[in-house]
């Protein structure tokens, strides 16, 4: 079987920035084990697969080790492939996913706007196991599918060197996606908050730019900064910027994509 494959840098203005995702369009679903094997072979944070479904598309995401219920950058990359490479003529795409319908629209300024579920959560003191795994003590955590670890100094975020084995052991029983460490931005780059994202229990030590984490980051920071439109910057080595909008029980996440590879795989 020969399948098309695209590798796209999401939340990026040019190649080698943002977060790379592989996108594999399908005419019909193939076996989940085969999709997982393809994702493992690609060895990227996420490989997405989509099929035509009703007026839109079914969409699934796989890390090199597991299928996940939500992924932002691979959704952005999938919409980019449909709009740019596969001739999708509408202004909005609806993806049916494990997290419900997700809509991606083209904007007048060339961005892609994703409408995702907001993921707020309760705030609580940081567990000792998390402090030990991060090697730094957050002021608080926000529980949820993406755990937030809140810091007061963004320099701690940039300098953090977690023990990924310990962090995987902490996260695995919680069955969350990972931990996003975050602080208010204190410089003049135009960002509102910064973050990094660690998901070693899902096969990703550090994700370069994580759209799904901003589903939790946006509802956390919006009321504290008294803003509905925010700029989040992920301080990974590749780096990336996510334009965020608090929409109540939804969030808007906007960015661009850059093509890196167009090819075929034989399975």
List the CATH number of the domain containing 157.
3.10.310.10
Q: What's the pLDDT at 249?
A: 96
Question: Are 137 and 238 found together in one domain?
Answer: yes
Apex CA 81: angle with CA 237 and CA 85, to 5°? 130
Question: Are 101 and 189 found together in one domain?
Answer: no
CA 52 remoteness from chain centre: 23
Residue 38: how many CB atoms within 10 A of its CB? 19
Q: What's the pLDDT at 88?
A: 94
Which helix or strand (DSSP H or E) is residue 121 part of? none
Question: Are 156 and 221 found together in one domain?
Answer: yes
Contact 193, 230 (CB under 8 A): yes
Q: What's the pLDDT at 116?
A: 96
Question: Are 104 and 188 found together in one domain?
Answer: no
Question: Are 149 and 56 found together in one domain?
Answer: no
Q: Is 46 a catalytic residue?
A: yes
Q: What's the pLDDT at 197?
A: 97
Distances (CA, A) of 220 to 11, 51, 154, 212, 231: 21, 34, 16, 14, 13
Question: Are 95 and 156 found together in one domain?
Answer: no
For residue 93, which of 114, 72, 69, 116 has the smallest C-alpha distance?
114
Question: Are 109 and 225 found together in one domain?
Answer: no
Q: What's the pLDDT at 71?
A: 93
Question: Are 154 and 104 found together in one domain?
Answer: no
Q: What's the pLDDT at 110?
A: 87
Each of the 267 residues of the chain gets a pLDDT tens digit; together they read 999 999 999 999 999 999 999 999 999 999 999 999 999 999 999 999 999 999 999 999 999 999 999 999 999 999 999 999 999 999 999 999 999 999 999 998 889 999 999 999 999 999 999 999 999 999 999 999 899 999 999 999 999 999 999 999 999 998 788 999 999 999 889 999 999 999 999 889 999 999 999 999 999 999 999 999 999 999 999 999 999 999 999 999 999 999 999 999 999
The active-site residue, picked from 46, 67, 154, 245, is 46
Q: What distance in Å separates the CA atoms of residue 64 and residue 7, rounded to the nearest whole number?
A: 15
Query: How many domains would you assign to the chain?
Result: 2
Question: Are 98 and 174 found together in one domain?
Answer: no
Question: Are 138 and 33 found together in one domain?
Answer: no
CA 158 remoteness from chain centre: 19
Contact 106, 83 (CB under 8 A): yes
Query: In terms of residue numbers, what domain contains 139?
Result: 123-248
Instruction: Provide the token pair at 140.
Output: 């608080």
Q: What distance in Å separates the CA atoms of residue 190 and residue 238, rounded to the nearest whole number?
A: 18
Question: Are 178 and 159 found together in one domain?
Answer: yes
Q: What's the pLDDT at 187?
A: 86
Q: What's the pLDDT at 118?
A: 96
Q: What's the pLDDT at 100?
A: 94
Q: What's the pLDDT at 264?
A: 98
Q: What's the pLDDT at 191?
A: 97
Helices (H), 18-111: 32-42, 72-80
């Amino acid at each position: 079987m020969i399948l098309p494959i695209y590798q796209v840098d999401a939340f990026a203005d040019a190649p080698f920035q943002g977060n790379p995702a592989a996108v594999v369009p399908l005419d019909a679903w193939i076996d989940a084990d085969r999709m997982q094997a393809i994702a493992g072979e690609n060895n990227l944070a996420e490989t997405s697969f989509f099929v035509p479904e009703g007026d839109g598309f079914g969409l699934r995401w796989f890390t090199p080790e597991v299928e996940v219920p939500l992924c932002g950058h691979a959704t952005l990359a999938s919409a980019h492939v449909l709009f740019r490479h596969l001739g999708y003529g509408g202004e909005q795409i609806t993806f049916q996913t494990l997290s419900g319908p997700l809509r991606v629209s083209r904007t007048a300024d060339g961005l892609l706007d994703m409408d995702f579920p907001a993921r707020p959560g309760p705030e609580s003191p940081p567990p000792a196991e998390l402090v030990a795994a991060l090697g730094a003590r957050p002021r608080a955590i926000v529980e949820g599918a993406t755990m937030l670890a809140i810091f007061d100094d963004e320099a701690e975020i940039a300098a953090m060197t977690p023990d990924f084995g310990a962090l995987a052991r902490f996260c695995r029983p919680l069955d969350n996606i990972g931990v996003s460490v975050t602080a208010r931005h204190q410089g003049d780059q135009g960002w509102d908050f910064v973050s990094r994202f660690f998901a070693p229990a899902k096969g990703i030590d550090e994700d370069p730019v994580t759209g799904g984490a901003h589903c939790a980051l946006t509802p956390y920071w919006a009321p504290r900064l008294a803003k509905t439109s925010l700029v989040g910057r992920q301080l990974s080595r590749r780096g990336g910027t996510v334009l965020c909008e608090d929409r109540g029980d939804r969030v808007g996440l906007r960015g661009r994509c850059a093509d890196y590879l167009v090819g075929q795989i034989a399975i």
